[in-house]
Amino acid sequence: MVTDTPRPRRAVVTGASSGIGAATVRRLRADGWQVVATARRADRLQELARETGAEAFPADVTDAADVARLVEHVASSGGLTAVVNNAGGALGLDPVASADVEQWRRMYEVNVLGTLRVTQGLLPLLRESGAGDVVVVTSTAAHGPYEGGAGYTGAKHAERMLSTTLRWELAGAPVRVIEIAPGAVATEEFSLVRFGGDAQRAAAVYAGYQPLVAEDVAEAIASTLSRPPHVNVDLLMVRPRAQVSNTKIARTQP
């Protein structure tokens, strides 16, 4: 008796050159997924590819032509089961009255429009798979404000609404939409980039408690993707135990 061989699970992970993205590539590869790792920094992607066996595809999610190349490549090389929209980031921590408009524009471009471009391009392939997944890594910033964070929380709220609305619009389609909203995650670059390379200020964000690490979020992503196709984890919010809200963290020192 001849039976159909299941198609291999294949994922695109954006923002894969460091932090949560790189950890997600490692975790999915360990779980047997084929992975296309994409980000702007080709050297880091190649290193990750050598380590994990993932495929490196350098691309900038804020560049429509780059995203089109990515979609064409994925479509012509085996299709797709999941996309993990992880590319994003925060810039600055300034009050609204003195915020840098260009920083706000850049945050919206990568967090929101980058996710939109990638999702729009890959959605037909996910439909064709018969059991596709759109994962969007937002933040607890997508679920509540904090002083100085209006630019980032605004972009993440918009990304959250993109995800929620897409889920409604895909009702009945063989595609799940999953939002992962991490709290404080100590990665090598997030806070350092936010504070323009100020290492002391970046380190202070994680002082006096145990923050999440990138692997914690990667595990959450992999877990939601491993659920049976009829199970949709609409939202998974994951914080360090010490962080009870965006503005309250139990620290062991001032």
Catalytic positions are 152
Q: Supply the DSSP string of 37-102, one letter for each residue.
A: EE-S-HHHHHHHHHHH-PEE----TT-HHHHHHHHHHHHHTT--SEEEE----------GGG--HH
Sequence-ordered alpha helix ranges (H) in 139-186: 150-169
Dist CA 35 CA 57 (whole Å): 10
Scored b (16 or more CB within 10 A) or e, 147-185 reads: eebbbbbbbbbbbbebbbebbeebeeeebbbbbbbbbbb
Our CA angle for 107, 112, 117, nearest 5°, is: 125
For residue 30, the SS3 value is: helix
- Amino acid identity at 226: S
